């Protein structure tokens, strides 16, 4: 009986030990080595990261260069080149303390002089960050010592740190540009072969095909796990998708057509994650043109649009109906009480009837002036969804007696017609509205270049101006909330969709920027590692670690068996001798 | 003497044509709506930043002044700098030319031989059932849009059967160079070349067939027949040789379009060639790049026409110098 | 004053003869009947029992079935009805472009051919310049920048393809103007205008017509190409645009790009078959049976 009990226990322990690899975690320790291939949609224009708008270069710059502070995937401000910073209580002085061991890829140390030179050059040569740097009213940039730099402003600018971490503010190597008066001088080799301070350094650029970077072993925050980082250029979204599916890339940085997302999701070895981004599709009315200056008409149109249906039809359901006067992705600034009108066709029709927009025999209304309510919807042809949104709007507005014709222009012509010449009826636009609600000033406020609707509400403008210089957080929040209430009342612009971004990658890679909140900027692969790489520790130690529990159980069994044997033997021998 | 005069006149014609084409292109492009400065300035643009961009690229000067300086530059061989790629236009074009040439030259050569062979095989008996059938099939093939054919081939061979890659020129992971690179490119080029060749075969078939039929009804053929020569030797010795000239001239003319003809196929298969370069240049209003591409394609077309004319005067004794 | 010459009154007689010869070309006949089907569809499509081609109320990406013979597209529109309605767009662009091309080509070509001399040289130079410019690129540029309404596309295609018509017209006029009946007209004092528009051009109609048919075919292909690049008019149903939208979904919903392509092939092939047969009939050299047959 005893042996059978012992036997049963042994069998049980053996079973546990054999299945323990399933019980113990797989050991999510980073491995070394491997190449990550990111598929994107175009070439960088050059490797000067601050001189011109370069959406294709930006993800590459984020791995080649550093900023003073940077934004992570949640748009929170995290340290980059500066490990610490102080803001004076009056909001006028920002002091940044730089890492002392940061070097450029050619070995020269990164100092506060590089920082000063960078921002002065952005100002002088009108780099992309010029607009908001001017808005910050910087009085001076002072080098305190080689690793400490002070920015002194003339008046407080609440969004200063956010913009500093965002765009066009990479710290550039002064010594590589000192011989050229023009920082975009094509003769400067560093425009084609960059020297940065980031976790990866430049290897080669084959135009139209790829950009290759390799790990920087001297990176001041530690060498990255990957050996190489390749940005593969495939300008066509469909081709990019098929390349990715064929295994020619590891990260798909091009958003595929919405209908392909479920298919990607169910492909083995591929993960798809989505996140709300502070970006919206919105339509704007030409307020300088009759009858769009009539708020009742705009209100009726807002009631007639079923935003969920638009998303379902035009974007395969990927997106959230816009709810208010700002993107809901920046939670602290979003006022959930300032809501847009809900879908209500009956009410829309009633409003128009009461306002004197008579229904004609062909089902199309006329304005009180007698002109047919036939509206042109002007969009840019960057992707299929802009036209698709128009097709849905066309059908929805038909139900309240408004006829819509579509006018698709390529982006340059659209900008000319809508933004510059303000020659349109309704136009569709999108755009990033972060990282700070101060962005609203450049889109919707009086005098802004992008305010194509000619929205001229002075109270709205004043609220935004005040919020820009208010340093007290809750006071700022209240100002932005009030601004949104005015925005959804006036309806010069009607936001339609809160956008969603997709992250698509192969499961064999971990530590991607969207999984590393608080640690790296939102395009950085400094912490990314490959499952099939070499372990950092020798193999046998890894083996021991992974199977620790199993090994312990096996040892326990062996000891238990030996002890049990010895004990029973004693008992037996004891019995025979007695 | 007469010939030299003709050559001189024809060359002058060539230069004049290219010159005018260039001016017309410049006007169309520069008078177009769409401000490249605003485009380059991007989303967060303020008026001042846009003006700064405009000044940097010299876009604030009046059009006639820009035209003159552009022409002067071209004469010196300087095609300008691309706004969007920040490189000299001639570099950019030089990079893309081999890609497009690979597709168009190879497919033209293949189409030439396939078309010619097919015509030789089937049109000896003019208007026979086989001849008519093949003719009509060729016409139908000629009616297929190249981009749709490419798409269908991708669907069948790239997706369903998974035999060929669906896009791109090379496999990004291949670190190979030399032979391996060449093989990789060749592998990726099969579907696009097949697409282009298929669409062009009917052209060569038609010209070859028409010439053969035309030649067959010439007097000398009936004379030889009466003299007792066999049909096959008449064909081989005389008709065939006389029928080669038109297809060759068509081929030479097509060479003129060798840089622009593959644009749609390049888009479908994602190859970085001239067609795609032009499309992206148009969308970003990159004036120097657009004009550079037009210049190069106009020159090749004019040159091809020029050589064909000269070739004809040399080879065909019936043609007289105008 | 109506001409009393038999050659002019033989208008209908000529066409009857043509039809008799045409009937012998099987390919041309097939093309002709196919084209009749296409025209019929284009004309009577509003009366056919079809779904609204613009309505997005159906479910997207439905494969071909009994209720949707060609399936539905990415926005939930019925593809069968869109393919049939698209014939209107393609045919109008084709005929519109060919019309513009023909009018301009006839004008330039006849002037060059008839007047001759310096004018001829100048016009021939202009024709050459136009032929040097890669037409597709030019059309692409103009439409991308200036706009993509359907009328505009027709105009642009017509204005870039007239040189080939002009050349044919010029050659015809050159050969005709030495003929006796023209000489006779000159002798009796007919004005240049009369000679050109009453005698020369109508007698050149046949090769112009044959060439125009081929131009309609190539205009349809050009428009499809433009729409495929995303430059088509979004307010009409266009086969090229349908293929453009269907490109993204070729992996899963192949029917979106497949059926419009078939429609293009059928329509363009029918025109090419007709045109080719006509061209063969009208060029004496290729029409005669070879010595081998």
- DSSP letters for A384-430: HHHHHHHHHHHHHHHTTT-EEEEEEE-HHHHIIIIIIS---SEEEEE
Partnered with residue A97 across adjacent β-strands are: A84, A148
Chains with at least 3 CB pairs less than 8 angstroms from chain B:
A, C
At residue B42 the predicted structure's pLDDT band, cuts being 50, 70 and 90, is low
At residue C287 the predicted structure's pLDDT band, cuts being 50, 70 and 90, is very low
Rounded to two decimals, the ipTM of the complex is 0.83
What does each C-alpha distance from A193 to A40, A47, A201, A211, A311 come to in angstroms?
20, 7, 10, 11, 43
Q: Distance (Å, rounded) from C-alpha C224 to C-alpha C235?
A: 15
Compute the average pLDDT of residues C165-172.
83
For A510, the 3-state DSSP assignment is strand
DSSP per position, C83-114? HHHHHHHHHHHHHHHHHHHHHHHHHHHHHHHH
The closest of B272, B193, B183 to A210, measured between CA atoms, is: B272
Contacts of C238 (CB under 8 A, 6+ apart): C86, C89, C90, C223, C224, C227, C232
- pLDDT for residue B206 is more than 70: yes
Q: For chain C, positions 229-258, list CB contacts with chain A under 8 A.
A: 230, 234-235, 245, 247-253
| Cα angle, residue C165 at apex, residues C164 and C168 outer, rounded to 5° | 90
For A284, the 3-state DSSP assignment is strand
Cβ pair C132:B302 closer than 8 A: yes
Predicted pLDDT of residue C286: 41
Compute the average pLDDT of residues C40-66.
90
Cβ pair B49:A411 closer than 8 A: no
Q: Does residue C127 belong to the interface with chain B, where contact is any CB pair within 8 Å?
A: no
Query: What's the first-to-final CA gap in chain B, in angstroms?
Result: 14
Q: Distance (Å, rounded) from C-alpha C248 to C-alpha C252?
A: 9
Q: Which residues does chain A have within 8 Å of residue C54's beta carbon, measured at their own beta carbons? A: 391, 394-395
pLDDT tens digits, A517-532: 889 999 999 999 998 8
Cβ pair C269:B139 closer than 8 A: yes
pLDDT tens digits, C139-148: 877 777 777 7
Q: Distance (Å, rounded) from C-alpha C226 to C-alpha C232?
A: 6
pLDDT tens digits, C94-109: 999 999 999 998 888 8
| A369 DSSP assignment | T
Secondary structure, 3-state, B251-273: HHHHHHCCCCCCHHHHHHHCCCC
Predicted pLDDT of residue C290: 33
Cβ pair C75:A395 closer than 8 A: no
Compute the average pLDDT of residues B135-146.
92
- Core vs surface per residue C123-142: b (16+ CB within 10 A) or e: bbebbbbbbbbbbbbbbbbb
Cβ pair B172:A126 closer than 8 A: no
Q: Distance (Å, rounded) from C-alpha A145 to C-alpha B299?
A: 60
Cβ pair A412:B35 closer than 8 A: yes
Q: Which residues does chain A have within 8 Å of residue C250's beta carbon, measured at their own beta carbons? A: 238
Q: Distance (Å, rounded) from C-alpha A303 to C-alpha A363?
A: 18
pLDDT tens digits, B237-292: 777 777 777 787 788 777 777 666 688 888 888 787 888 888 878 777 787 888 88
Predicted pLDDT of residue C29: 85
Q: Does residue A395 belong to the interface with chain C, where contact is any CB pair within 8 Å?
A: yes
Q: Distance (Å, rounded) from C-alpha A232 to C-alpha A250?
A: 10
Q: Does residue B86 belong to the interface with chain A, where contact is any CB pair within 8 Å?
A: yes
CB B166 within 8 A of CB B158: yes
Q: Which residues does chain A have within 8 Å of residue B172's beta carbon, measured at their own beta carbons? A: 37, 209-210, 230, 232, 243, 248-249
CB A247 within 8 A of CB A232: no
Instruction: Tell me: cis bond preceding B210? Omega within 30 of 0 counts.
Output: no
Pick the range with the lowest mean pLDDT from B155-169, C68-82, C207-221, C277-291.
C277-291
| Cα angle, residue C19 at apex, residues C18 and C24 outer, rounded to 5° | 100
At residue C228 the predicted structure's pLDDT band, cuts being 50, 70 and 90, is confident
Predicted pLDDT of residue A335: 93
CB C204 within 8 A of CB C231: no
CA distance C196 to chain A (A): 43
Predicted pLDDT of residue A195: 95
Q: For chain C, positions 152-181, list CB contacts with chain B under 8 A.
A: none
Q: Does residue A265 belong to the interface with chain C, where contact is any CB pair within 8 Å?
A: no
Q: Distance (Å, rounded) from C-alpha A447 to C-alpha A441?
A: 9
- pLDDT for residue B16 is more than 60: yes
Given A43, A45, A249, which is nearest B172 (Cβ)?
A249
Q: Does residue C116 belong to the interface with chain B, where contact is any CB pair within 8 Å?
A: no
Q: Distance (Å, rounded) from C-alpha C3 to C-alpha C169?
A: 23
Q: Distance (Å, rounded) from C-alpha A245 to C-alpha A235?
A: 16
At residue C152 the predicted structure's pLDDT band, cuts being 50, 70 and 90, is confident
Full-model pTM: 0.80
Enumerate residue ranges in chain A where pLDDT < 70: 1-27, 235-236, 238, 537-539, 542, 572-578
CA distance B217 to chain A (A): 51
CA distance C131 to chain A (A): 27
Contacts of C262 (CB under 8 A, 6+ apart): none
- pLDDT for residue C288 is more than 70: no
What does each C-alpha distance from B279 to A232, A414, B94, B275, C255 come to in angstroms?
20, 17, 17, 6, 27
Residue C253 phi/psi, 5° resolution?
-115, 70
Residue B118: Cβ within 10 Å count? 19
Partnered with residue A86 across adjacent β-strands are: A95
CA distance A52 to chain B (A): 7
CA distance A374 to chain C (A): 14
For A33, the 3-state DSSP assignment is coil
Predicted pLDDT of residue C6: 53
Query: What's the first-to-final CA gap in chain A, in angstroms?
Result: 23
Given C140, C225, C228, which is nearest B282 (Cβ)?
C140
Cβ pair A259:C54 closer than 8 A: no
CB B115 within 8 A of CB B204: yes
Number of A–C residue contacts, CB under 8 Å: 59
Q: Distance (Å, rounded) from C-alpha A294 to C-alpha A288?
A: 10
Predicted pLDDT of residue B76: 78
Q: Which residue of B has its CA nearest to A438?
A: B44
| Orientation angle between helical segments B146-153 and C239-247, nearest 10 degrees | 30
Contacts of A386 (CB under 8 A, 6+ apart): A379, A380, A408, A428
At residue B216 the predicted structure's pLDDT band, cuts being 50, 70 and 90, is confident
Given B50, B167, B282, which is nearest A243 (Cβ)?
B167
- pLDDT for residue C291 is more than 50: no
Residue C184: Cβ within 10 Å count? 12
- pLDDT for residue B217 is more than 50: yes
Cβ pair B126:C290 closer than 8 A: yes
Q: Which residues does chain B have within 8 Å of residue C133's beta carbon, measured at their own beta carbons? A: 21, 24-25, 294, 298, 301
The closest of C273, C270, C279, C281 to C168, measured between CA atoms, is: C279
DSSP per position, A95-160? EEEE-TT-B-TTSPBP-HHHHHHHHHHHHHHT-TTHHHHHHHTEEEEEEEETTEEEEEESS--TTH
CB C251 within 8 A of CB B159: yes
Predicted pLDDT of residue B318: 63
At residue B312 the predicted structure's pLDDT band, cuts being 50, 70 and 90, is confident
Round the average pLDDT of chain B to a whole number and report it: 78
Q: For chain A, positions 400-459, list CB contacts with chain C under 8 A.
A: 405-410, 412-413
CB B229 within 8 A of CB B306: no
Predicted pLDDT of residue B258: 66
Q: HSE (CB half, 13 Å, CA atoms) of C217?
A: 27
What does each C-alpha distance from A161 to A61, A75, A172, A328, C103 come to in angstroms?
19, 11, 18, 21, 65
Q: Which residues does chain A have within 8 Å of residue B85's beta carbon, measured at their own beta carbons? A: 43, 45, 207
Predicted pLDDT of residue B238: 73
| Cα angle, residue A443 at apex, residues A441 and A447 outer, rounded to 5° | 70
At residue C84 the predicted structure's pLDDT band, cuts being 50, 70 and 90, is very high
Cβ pair C136:B260 closer than 8 A: yes
- Core vs surface per residue A120-158: b (16+ CB within 10 A) or e: ebbeebbbbbbbbbebbebeebebeeebbbbbebeebbb
Residue C149 phi/psi, 5° resolution?
-70, 155
Q: Which residues does chain C have within 8 Å of residue A428's beta carbon, measured at their own beta carbons? A: none
Q: Distance (Å, rounded) from C-alpha B32 to C-alpha B26?
A: 10
| Cα angle, residue B109 at apex, residues B107 and B115 outer, rounded to 5° | 95
Which has the higher per-residue pLDDT, C270 or A5?
C270
**Dihedral of the CA atoms C1, C7, C9, C10 (nearest 10)?**
-170
């Amino acid at each position: 009986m005893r042996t059978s009990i012992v036997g049963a226990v042994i069998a049980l322990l053996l079973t546990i030990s054999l299945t323990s690899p399933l019980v113990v975690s797989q050991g999510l320790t980073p491995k070394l080595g491997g190449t990550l291939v990111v598929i994107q949609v175009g070439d960088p224009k050059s490797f000067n990261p601050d001189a011109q708008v370069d959406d294709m270069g930006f993800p590459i710059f984020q791995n080649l260069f550093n900023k003073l502070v940077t934004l992570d995937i949640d748009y929170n401000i995290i340290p980059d080149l500066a490990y610490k910073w102080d803001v004076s209580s009056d909001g006028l002085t920002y002091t940044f303390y730089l890492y002392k061991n940061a070097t450029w890829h050619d070995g020269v140390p990164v100092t506060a002089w590089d920082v000063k030179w960078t921002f002065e050059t952005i100002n002088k040569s009108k780099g992309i960050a010029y607009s908001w740097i001017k808005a910050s009213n910087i009085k001076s940039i002072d080098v305190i010592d080689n690793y400490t730099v002070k920015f002194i402003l003339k008046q407080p600018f609440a969004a200063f740190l956010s913009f500093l971490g965002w765009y066009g503010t990479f710290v550039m190597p002064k010594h590589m540009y000192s011989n050229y008066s023009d920082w975009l001088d094509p003769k400067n080799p560093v425009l084609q072969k960059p020297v940065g301070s980031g976790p990866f350094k430049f290897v080669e650029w084959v135009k139209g095909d790829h950009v290759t970077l390799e790990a920087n072993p001297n990176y001041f925050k530690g060498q990255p796990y990957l050996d190489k980082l390749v940005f593969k250029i495939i300008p066509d979204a469909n081709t990019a998708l098929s390349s990715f599916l064929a295994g020619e890339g590891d990260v798909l940085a091009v958003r595929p057509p919405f209908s392909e997302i479920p298919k990607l999701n169910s492909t083995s070895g591929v993960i798809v994650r989505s996140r709300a981004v502070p970006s919206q599709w919105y339509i704007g009315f030409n307020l300088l043109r009759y009858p769009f200056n009539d708020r009742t008409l705009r209100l009726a149109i807002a009631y007639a649009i079923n935003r969920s249906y638009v998303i379902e039809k035009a974007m395969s359901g990927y997106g959230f109906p816009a709810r208010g006067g700002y993107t809901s992705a920046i939670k602290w600034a979003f006022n959930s009480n300032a809501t847009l009108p809900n879908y209500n066709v009956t009410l829309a029709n009633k409003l128009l009837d009461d306002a004197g927009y008579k229904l004609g025999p062909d089902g199309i209304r006329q304005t009180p002036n007698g002109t047919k309510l036939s509206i042109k919807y002007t969009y840019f042809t960057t992707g299929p969804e802009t036209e698709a949104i128009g097709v849905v709007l066309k059908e929805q507005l038909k139900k309240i007696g408004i006829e819509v014709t579509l006018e698709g222009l390529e982006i340059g012509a659209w900008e000319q017609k809508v933004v510059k010449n303000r020659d349109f009826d309704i136009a569709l636009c999108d755009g990033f509205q972060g990282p700070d609600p101060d962005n609203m000033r450049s889109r919707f406020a009086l005098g802004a270049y992008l305010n194509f609707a000619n929205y001229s509400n002075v109270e709205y403008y004043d609220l935004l101006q005040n919020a820009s210089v208010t340093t007290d957080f809750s006071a700022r929040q209240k100002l932005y909330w009030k601004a949104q209430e005015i925005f959804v009342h006036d309806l010069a612009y009607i936001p339609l969709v809160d956008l969603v971004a997709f992250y698509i990658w192969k499961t064999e890679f971990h530590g991607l920027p969207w999984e590393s909140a608080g640690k790296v900027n939102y395009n950085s692969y400094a912490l990314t590692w490959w499952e099939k790489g070499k372990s950092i520790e020798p193999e046998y130690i890894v083996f021991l670690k992974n199977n620790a529990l199993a090994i312990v159980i096996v040892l326990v069994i062996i000891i238990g068996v030996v002890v049990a044997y010895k004990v029973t033997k004693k008992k037996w021998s004891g019995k025979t001798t007695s | 003497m007469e010939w030299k005069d003709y050559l001189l006149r024809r060359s002058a014609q060539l230069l004049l044509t290219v010159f005018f084409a260039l001016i017309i292109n410049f006007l169309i492009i520069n008078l177009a709506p769409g401000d490249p400065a605003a485009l380059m300035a991007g989303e967060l643009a303020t008026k001042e930043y846009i003006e700064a961009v405009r000044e940097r690229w010299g876009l604030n000067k009046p059009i006639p002044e820009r035209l003159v300086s552009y022409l002067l530059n071209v004469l010196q061989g300087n095609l300008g700098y691309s706004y969007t790629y920040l490189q000299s236009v001639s570099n950019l074009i030089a990079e893309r030319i081999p890609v497009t040439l690979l597709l168009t030259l190879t497919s033209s050569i293949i189409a030439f031989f396939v078309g010619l062979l097919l015509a030789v095989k089937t049109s000896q008996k003019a208007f026979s059932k086989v001849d008519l059938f093949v003719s009509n099939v060729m016409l139908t093939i000629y009616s297929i849009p190249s981009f749709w054919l490419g798409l269908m081939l991708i669907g069948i061979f790239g997706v369903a059967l998974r035999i060929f890659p669906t896009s791109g020129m090379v496999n990004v992971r291949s670190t190979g160079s030399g032979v391996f690179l060449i093989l990789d490119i060749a592998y990726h080029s099969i579907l696009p070349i097949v697409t282009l060749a298929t669409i062009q075969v009917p052209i060569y078939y038609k010209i070859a067939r028409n010439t053969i039929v035309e030649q067959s009804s010439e007097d000398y053929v009936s004379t030889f027949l009466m003299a007792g020569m066999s049909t096959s030797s008449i064909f081989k010795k005389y008709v065939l040789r006389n029928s080669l000239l038109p297809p060759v001239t068509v081929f030479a003319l097509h060479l003129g379009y060798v840089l622009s003809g593959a644009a749609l196929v390049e888009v479908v298969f994602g190859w970085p060639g001239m067609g795609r370069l032009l499309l992206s240049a148009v969308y970003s209003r990159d004036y120097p790049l657009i004009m550079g591409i037009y210049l190069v394609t106009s020159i090749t077309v004019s040159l091809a026409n020029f050589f064909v004319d000269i070739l004809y005067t040399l080879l065909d004794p019936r043609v007289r110098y105008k | 004053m109506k001409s009393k010459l038999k050659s002019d009154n033989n208008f209908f007689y000529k066409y009857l003869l043509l039809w008799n010869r045409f009937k012998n070309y099987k390919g041309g006949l097939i093309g002709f009947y196919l084209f009749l089907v296409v025209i019929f569809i284009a004309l009577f499509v509003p009366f056919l029992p079809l779904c609204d081609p613009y309505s997005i109320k159906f479910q997207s990406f439905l494969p071909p079935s009994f209720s949707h013979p060609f399936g539905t597209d990415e926005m939930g529109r019925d593809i069968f009805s869109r393919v049939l309605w698209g014939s209107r767009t393609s045919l109008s662009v084709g005929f519109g472009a060919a019309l513009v091309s023909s009018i301009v080509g006839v004008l330039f070509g006849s002037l060059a051919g008839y007047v001759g001399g310096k004018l001829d040289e100048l016009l021939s130079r202009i024709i050459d310049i136009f032929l040097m410019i890669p037409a597709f690129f030019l059309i692409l540029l103009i439409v991308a920048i200036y706009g993509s309404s359907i009328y505009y596309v027709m105009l642009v295609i017509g204005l870039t393809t007239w040189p080939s018509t002009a050349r044919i017209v010029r050659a015809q006029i050159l050969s005709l103007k030495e003929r006796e009946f023209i000489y006779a007209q000159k002798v009796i004092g007919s004005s240049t205008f009369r000679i050109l528009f009453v005698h020369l051009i109508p007698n050149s109609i046949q090769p112009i017509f044959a060439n125009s048919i081929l131009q309609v075919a190539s205009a349809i292909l050009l428009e499809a190409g433009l729409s495929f690049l995303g430059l088509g008019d979004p307010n009409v149903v266009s086969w090229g645009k349908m293929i453009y939208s269907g490109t993204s979904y070729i992996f899963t919903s192949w029917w979106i790009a497949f059926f419009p392509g078939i429609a293009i092939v059928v329509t363009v092939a029918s025109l090419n078959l007709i045109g080719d047969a006509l061209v063969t009939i009208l060029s004496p050299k290729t029409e005669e049976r070879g010595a081998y047959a």
